[in-house]
Each structure stands twice: as structure tokens, then as C-alpha cells.
Amino acid sequence: MTGERWKTVRSRWQDHWRLMVGVAALATTLAALCHGFDAKLGGLLAEAERSAYDAAVTRFTERPDRSSQVVLVTIDQPSLERIRDNPQYTLNFGSWPYSRNLWARVVEQLEAEGARAVVFDAVMDERGSDESMDLAFAQVLRTTAIPFFLGVSTHPDASPLPPVDFQAEPTARQAPAGVEEPPPGDETFPEEAFPEETGAETFQDAPAKTLLPDVPPEQMARAVAFPARAEGRSLPALDYESSSRERAPSHPVHPIPVLVGAVEGFGLVEPEADADGFMRRTRFAYSDGHNTFATLPVRVAASLLGASAVEFSGRTLRLGSRTYAVDADGSAGIDFGGQMHDRFHSVSLFAVLNAWVLRGQGQPTKLPPEMFRDKVVVIGGNAVGLNDVKATSFSSHEPGVVKQAAVLDTLLGDGRFITQAPLPVSLALVFVVAFASVVLLMTTRWTPLEIAWPLGLYFGLGWVTGPFLGLTNTYVLTALPALAGVVASVSAVAFNHLVANEETAFIRQAFSRFMEPKLVEQMIAQRELPRLDGENVEITAFFSDIRGFSTFSERFKDDPRNLVRILNTYLTRVSAALLKEGGCLDKYIGDAVVCLFGAPMRQADHALRACKGALAAKTAVDRLREEFRAQGLPDMFTRIGLNSAVNFVGNFGSEQLFSYTAIGDGMNLAARLEGANKAYGTVIMIGARTYELAREHIEVRELDRVRVAGKTEAVTVYELLALKGGVDARTRETVARYHAALALYREARFTEAAAVLDARRAEAPEDGPTQALLARCQRYAEAPPPDFDGVANLDK
């Protein structure tokens, strides 16, 4: 930012900082009110916040490595098909949902693989058609050393469980009352899985020995419920939304009694979906008004970590000796870390079941070595037909088991759930964004920024809060600050375009008659009146004049109106060409045009712009000559001089009348170069500094080294031919021949130089510099000048 621009910005801040603070505070207040009443507003802000959360999570929380704590056994479509197509498996386990002896075999195999625990992301709340299979499954769970955890669903029609006194001594894992424990060493399942090969009795043929009785409600309640304590708040209620949109109580559905005492623990498998159906958060523990219940991952982690209860205190969840950061309401965002296949190793159900068969036959299991060793194995559905497809931030089609696995992996692993920053922190960001928006737009008053900034807030604020989420697992509200920023931006734009319009009208009315329109618009943009003082700035000055204008105007001494019309047409064409390249018209002096490049608007490429403007002006005049020739008007030629130098630029004049112009030796030289074209037969002559700044983009001919009147220092001057690559081969030959002759001329070898030029003069008979240098060489060959230094003097 230039010094003048910075001065303008600072002035606007000093004039309006109180207004800026007020607008930011108002925008923050409105945003906070919208946040508080969003439900009554239709939840649009919550929906936008969920979208922003999803974008931040997917961009910045994806994990590079798979879990080292949890492995999945997936009930995938190939498993369903291969079990169905295997007659022996179908005979022993039936079709989906399989007989529970299949899960017994899976548990046995996972125990053999060294798994730490098995978690079944499903419920078993209906007795099997053959209750002996349920009893046999329970027996396996009791006799194996591996803990098994099972899900529990809820339903409004389920019977409430009696309150549990967790202070009382819990009973050991045992079979329900009335169920006979098998003696040690008794085998409920045959050792061989395939009866056709061994002659053993099948599971389907095994008769049910007894009708399994129910367990006492108190025992059921102690098995399903789990202690949970929350200081200063109540746990979320188990309820559902009825058809009348009212909340109605819900209760856990009792698992089959035979599993009570056999399963290590039961946990809720609530969907916990947001309003849009996506799984993003978990609540850890619930209450039905009588008892408290842990979610399935929490129940597993509590058992493995030796925790006797779930404890909430402030924004902390405690399980035994482990603590976890959660939100103030006891919930937390699930750190999925990516899609299921990216986060967890998984093995198909069929592979595990087949491994059990191979192990019984003494063959290698073909399972990945050490896949399950010391891991918690979560069994869940992955097949489309199981209707357990859920949506997460990473995918709209994820198996529901990924939620249980992700929560459990966090509880057992790094313990970092995604939490929301406290509301005051988010509101602080809201104020910062709103304040930055109003300050930026009210101080710069740049129309492209007024459009781009609100769009940038809407689409880009997540790139500020997202990395913070990735580093800290803390989500700062993003849609709310964006909303406040947009409100503040609209307010700032309204100020710029309503209040500033009054100043614009005043400046235009007061100064448009005395100053160039571009300078007036610059003052409007900067809100700064012109001053009589100026500054030293490097610019490129443009001077042009009509060759022989006195003779030209003599033709119209009896028709001055037509002369004015012709002159106005000429000035309009030349001016338009210059303005298109960013030039600032300084003045018209009769038929002469003075233009500045690089002031008042700073232009780093002012020299190149001036060269482009000069070439465009020459082209415009050439077209105008053709028009004049067609109208029978006299021919018109123009000459142009360009020079780049540091000049003093500003408003010069009196308090009554001033104009924006430049003064200095650089301006004088540009005027001299314009006149010098006559001596060299050229159209556009440029100074050495202009050539130095634009040399990479232009084609030139070095004309001579000259000394202007009143100066002792010689300068090199050039003829501007075209932009880079715009010179034809014939002209290049002419220029090369001229440079060769010029080198001989500077060595005072005038005869040789004349011979070089004269030898091919017929090929470029209209080349003015060739004719001028040839004439000078011929003259000097006859009468060499004394003290020749190769420098030509430019007279006034």
C-alpha cells in the first residue's frame, strides 16, 4: 500500500472508528439472537453450521493411519452369499438372521486369535426358535475368557425396569435362575462342524432340554443399567418424538434372559442422529427416569478400563482413571477420522467362521496374522440388505457400526473427541470477523472487495476454523461468524454507497470544471481534496504535435469551423488511444497533446504503457489520414516524444485555478524529443530511460547520442518501431544496416558509413533516419567537424 493510500485509510479510520465498532457490536448481537432463536427460525442457521462442520471435519481431521485398538468383523454381502451357498453352513446356522450358535463359533475363534474383547453391534431381544441354541451360546460366553458385549435398543412400549441400587453388592456372572449350569467339560456343541463327514448330531436336530425361564426384573435391570452421575445437570432422557411432535418416554428392550450373567455388559445402540439424519455426536449415557444406561462403546470402555461408573463434571467425562473433554451438555462430536475402510481394519464374517472350521481341522486359518491380537473386535453389518446404512460427515452411505467403532477407539485410544468451543469464544470470533469486515470495507471503499469479501467469508472462513479444529479437536462456530461478517459487510457497503455518495456529488460539482475527470475520480476514491504541493515521482511523459500544423491550418483560413472540427477529431482519436493505456491527459496546447503515465495513478509499467499508447496513437492517426484522404482533406502527420524521468508532479496554479501537471528536465527532454523527430525523419522518439524500462517488450532503433540545449551531458535516443516481435524482416535489415553505419560514423569513418547506407538505400527509400545519417556522413566526409565526439546537438 502506498503512503498516500495508507494515509487515506488511516483518515477514514479516525473519522469513523466509533461507527465501525458499533456496527460490529450490532452484527454480533444479531448473530447471537439468531443462534438462540434458530429453532423458531426454521433451523436454517443450524443447517448451515452442520454443513460448515462437515466441511471442516472432512478436510482437517482425517487420520493417516488405521486404528491400533479396534478391528471390525463385518457382516458383508459376500459373507451372506457364501454362507447361504454352503449347504453345511446353512444346515448348521440357518439363514439370516443366523442361529446363535454361529456367533458362539465366532467368539471361540476370536478368543483363539487373542482378541481382547468382542462387541456385537446388534441386539438379541427375541428368543430363538430353538432355545437350546440360546442356552448353548450363553454357555460359550461363560466358559470363554474373552468378554462379550451386546447392544440394547429402546422402544416406547418396553416395560420400565425397576430402579437399581448400584451401592448394593453386585452378583457374579451366572445363569438365570432355573437354568442348569452344564458341568465342567461338558460339550454342548459337537467338535466337528459338518455332520455329513462325522456323523455327529446337528445343532438344528439338538432337542431343547428346557423352556428357558425369565430372570427377575431386578436382575435384568442390574445387567442392563449402568451407573452414571452428572454434577449440576441431568442426563439426556430416553424418549422419542411422537406423531403429535411431543416427546414421549422410551425404555430399553430387555435382552433374552439367558444372556443375563453370560454377557459382560449391555449398552445402548441409539442412532443419535442429527436433524438431517447424519451421525455426528454421541451422548455417552442416558436416563429413563428410573435408571441410567451407558451407550455400548462406553459400557465396553468402562469394563476394559476398570470403571464402575460414568461421571460427568463440567466439560469432563471420567471413566475410571481416564478423562475426556466433552461439551457442556455432556455430548461430544465423534472423531470418525475418515471413512470406515480408511479408519479400521476389517475382516469378513465368513473369513472368521471359515477360520474356525479350518482350525478344528488342524489347518491354517488364513486370517491375517496378529490381526485380532489384543484388539477389541466390533461385529456389525455392512451388507446393504441389513438396512444399517447411516450418514456421517465423511460419507452418506456408511455402515452404522462405524459409529460404535469410532467412539470406542477414541475412548480406548487418544481420548480426543470433537468438542465445541464455548459460546463466548465463538461470539468473540463473530465480533472479530464483523469488525474486520466493516473496517476493511469502510476504509478501502474498493468495489471489487465489497463483492469478494462477503463471498470469501461464506466460502473461506472454514479455512480459518478448520485448521484450528485439526490441531485442537475443538470446533469454533463457522456459519455464525460468516453470517455476522456478511451483515457487517452489507452495513459497510450501505455506508459507502449512501453516505459517500453525498461527498462524491460535492467533489464532482466543485472540481470537475477545473481538473481532469480521472483525477476527480481519484479524489473521490481517496476522499482527499487536491493540494497545491506535489511530490517527486518517476513518470513517462508523452508529447505529440502535428507536423506543419501552421501550413495545415492555412488551408482552412476561410473555414475555421471545419478546422476546429478536424482538430477535435484528431485530438479525440489520439486521446482515446492514450487513455486506453492508462495515461492521464495533462493538457492540450493547440494541436499538441501532453500526457502523463505513472501519475496521478502509480503504474509500475508506466514506460511500457507510454510506448503502447504512442504506437496506438500513431495507428489512430494513420487511420485518420486515410479518412481525410478519402474526404479530399490535406494529409496530416504527427510526431511523438517519450521520456521517463523523475519529475515533480502535483497541482500547480493559484487558489482560483490550478491544474495537475509535471515539471522538470524530464518533461523538457520529452518535448525536445518530439521536435527532434523532424531532424531524423522519425515518428516516435524515446529517451534512454524509457528504453531501459521497456526494452524487454519493444522493438527500437538506436538513432543517435544527442545533447540538448543548455546541457553538457549526452543522452542516447531511440526510434520506437513496434512492440516485441512486431518488426518485419525488411525493416530489421534496414535497422541492422543503420546500426552498422552508426558505429562507423561514431569512429569518424564517414565515407565508409555513407557507403554502407548508400549501397542499399533503394530498398528503403522512405526510411528517414537512413536519409538523415547518410546526408550527415556525406557532409562530414567533405568537411570533418573539429573535435568530433559522435554526439549531435539538439537546438531549441
HSE of 101, CA atoms in CB hemisphere, 13 A: 25
> Could you report the per-residue pLDDT of 233-249, keeping only the tens digit for each?
889 999 887 777 778 88
In this structure, which amino acid lies at residue 284?
F
> Could you report the per-residue pLDDT of 184-218, keeping only the tens digit for each?
444 334 334 443 333 333 333 444 444 566 889 99
Integer angstrom CA distances of residue 400 from 50, 67, 213, 390, 397: 19, 17, 33, 5, 9
Distance CA 218, CA 491 (A): 64
> Could you report the per-residue pLDDT of 755-780, keeping only the tens digit for each?
999 987 888 888 999 999 999 999 99
Percent of the chain with pLDDT over 70: 87
Distance CA 258, CA 194 (A): 27
Q: Which residues contact 106 (CB under 8 A, 6 or more apart)?
A: 73, 118, 349, 352, 353, 356, 379
Dihedral angle sign, alpha carbons of residues 585, 586, 589, 592: negative
Q: Kindly indicate the confidence band of residue 385, based on its pLDDT and cuts at 50, 70 and 90.
A: confident
The DSSP bridge pattern shows strands 70-75 and 376-381 to be: parallel
In this structure, which amino acid lies at residue 240?
Y
How many other CB atoms are there within 10 angstroms of residue 53's CB atom?
26
> Could you report the per-residue pLDDT of 58-114, keeping only the tens digit for each?
999 999 899 999 999 999 999 999 999 999 999 999 889 899 999 999 999 999 999
**What one-character DSSP code corresponds to residue 278?**
B
Q: Picking from 139-153, 649-663, 713-727, which range would have the lowest pLDDT averaged per residue?
A: 649-663
How many other CB atoms are there within 10 angstroms of residue 420's CB atom?
22
**What one-character DSSP code corresponds to residue 511?**
H
For residue 449, give the 3-state DSSP assignment. helix
Over residues 544-571, mean pLDDT: 83
Query: Above 90 in pLDDT, residue 708?
Result: no
The position carrying cell 502535483 is 650
Q: Picking from 226-230, 389-393, 655-659, 788-792, which range would have the lowest pLDDT averaged per residue?
A: 655-659
Query: Above 70 in pLDDT, residue 274?
Result: yes
Cell of 325: 473433554
Q: Kindly indicate the confidence band of residue 516, based on its pLDDT and cuts at 50, 70 and 90.
A: low
Q: Supply the CATH classification number for the domain 531-723.
A: 3.30.70.1230
HSE of 671, CA atoms in CB hemisphere, 13 A: 14
Instruction: Report the Cα 114 to chain-centroid distance in Å.
Output: 46
The position carrying cell 439367558 is 258
> CA geometry: angle at 577 spanning 575 and 581, to 5°?
110
Give the residue from 651, 648, 646 showing the smallest Cα distance to 533: 651
Distance CA 434, CA 25 (A): 8
Query: Above 90 in pLDDT, residue 695?
Result: yes
| Neighbour-count burial for 163-197, b at 16+ CB within 10 Å, e otherwise | ebebeeeeeeeebbeebeeeeeeeebbbeebbbee
In this structure, which amino acid lies at residue 396?
S
What's the pLDDT score for residue 515? 46
**pTM of this prediction?**
0.63
Query: Above 60 in pLDDT, residue 483?
Result: yes
HSE of 535, CA atoms in CB hemisphere, 13 A: 12
Q: Which residues contact 520 (CB under 8 A, 6 or more apart)?
A: 507, 508, 511, 512
3-state SS, 224-260, equals: HCCCEEECCCCCCECEEECCCCCEEECEECCCCHHHC
**What one-character DSSP code corresponds to residue 123?**
E
10 Å CB burial of residue 106 (0-12, 13-18, 19+) is buried
For residue 653, give the 3-state DSSP assignment. strand
| Domains in the chain: boundaries | 3-61+421-511, 70-412, 531-723, 728-796
- Whether a cis peptide bond, with omega within 30° of 0, leads into 785 is no
